[in-house]
Amino acid sequence: MKTSRYTEAQIIAILRQAEGGVPVSQLCREHGMSDASFYKWRAKYGGMDAS
């Protein structure tokens, strides 16, 4: 099974940036990921906090 490029803490930090008003397309370009990955992460990790 393929391991993720990003840790859960990194994913949550990216989602927080989007909540702060940064456009999704800009975040995806900066972090080298697809829009689909972002929306999948938001569905999975949307309400979580980093431990």
The 3-class SS string of 1-51 reads CCCCCCCHHHHHHHHHHHHCCCCHHHHHHHHCCCHHHHHHHHHHHCCCCCC
Residue ranges covered by each domain of the chain: 8-45
pLDDT tens track for 6-51? 999 999 999 999 999 999 999 999 999 999 999 999 999 887 766 5
Q: Can you give the pLDDT at residue 43?
A: 93
pLDDT band of residue 3 (cuts 50, 70, 90) is: confident
